[in-house]
Copies of this chain bind each other. A is one copy, B any other.
Amino acid sequence: MNYCNLCGAQVVQRIPPDDDRLRYVCDSCDEIHYQNPKIVAGCIPVWEDKVLLCKRAIEPRYGYWTLPAGFMELGETSHAAALRETMEEANARVEIINLFAVFNLPHVNQVYLMFNSNLMDLDFSPGAESQEVALFTQDEIPWEQLSFPTIRYSLEFFFEDRKDSHYRLHTGDIMRGNSGREFLTGPKTRY
């Protein structure tokens, strides 16, 4: 950030009074420009013993398979965001069941909120951000071509829970190690 988006003056980085971290501050209009993590909302669309995945037509991870998910917008709820992303990426209608996973990704300033959902019908097709949309059984899932760790963990937890058809809430922190490899840690829930 270089300029104040309110008055257009240059911003400086400084720790404001009663604060303990560097903020972008405007000395012209005194605005403090806070920056905060973003929420990514998505779902696992289920049809019988299959889940719907989208092959990405955009970077990052172009050509890799993902669950419908994207940045939550102003004025919407997290489940509305998951519904919208599923329509945008797969032209698919789902019924949201419940919150399934909450992942913190502090290295990219994101929190994932993933929902269980049921696909309402088989009328789906690639949206603007997808090359291909398809249903996969657990064995058919392209485990080596998944887009992000959040997607792999979501699918692993889903199939794990499906064994005893008890769908828990899963929480965790996805951290990036020195090797660049990402792994799941942090407090697990009791559910």
Q: Which residues of B contact A72 (CB under 8 A)?
A: 36-37, 111
Q: Is the CB of B99 within 8 A of A189?
A: yes
A94 on interface, CB distance cutoff 8 Å: no
Q: Which residues of B contact A97 (CB under 8 A)?
A: 187, 190
Residues facing B in A9-54 (CB within 8 A) are 10-11, 18, 21, 24, 33-39
> For the complex, would chain A's binding face be called helix, strand, loop or mixed by DSSP majority?
loop
A5 on interface, CB distance cutoff 8 Å: yes
Q: Mark A80-98, 1 if CB is under 8 A from B, else 0.
A: 1000000000000000111
Size of interface on A: residues with Cβ below 8 Å to B:
52
Q: Which residues of B contact A113 (CB under 8 A)?
A: 102, 111
Q: Bound state CA distance, A1 and B7, in angstroms?
A: 9
Q: Is the CB of B3 within 8 A of A109?
A: no
Q: A65: shortest Cβ distance to chain B, in Å?
A: 21
Q: Is the CB of A96 within 8 A of B5?
A: no
A149 on interface, CB distance cutoff 8 Å: no
Q: Bound state CA distance, A183 and B111, in angstroms?
A: 25
Q: Which of A130-138, A140-148, A165-173 lies at the interface?
A: A165-173
Q: A22: shortest Cβ distance to chain B, in Å?
A: 10
A120 on interface, CB distance cutoff 8 Å: no
Q: Is the CB of B78 within 8 A of A111?
A: yes
Q: Which among B10, B79, B128 is the interface contact of A18 at CB below 8 angstroms?
A: B128
Q: Is the CB of B77 within 8 A of A104?
A: yes
Q: Bound state CA distance, A11 and B4, in angstroms?
A: 12
Q: Is the CB of B39 within 8 A of A111?
A: yes
Q: Which residues of B contact A96 (CB under 8 A)?
A: 187
Q: Is the CB of A71 within 8 A of B2?
A: no
A76 on interface, CB distance cutoff 8 Å: yes
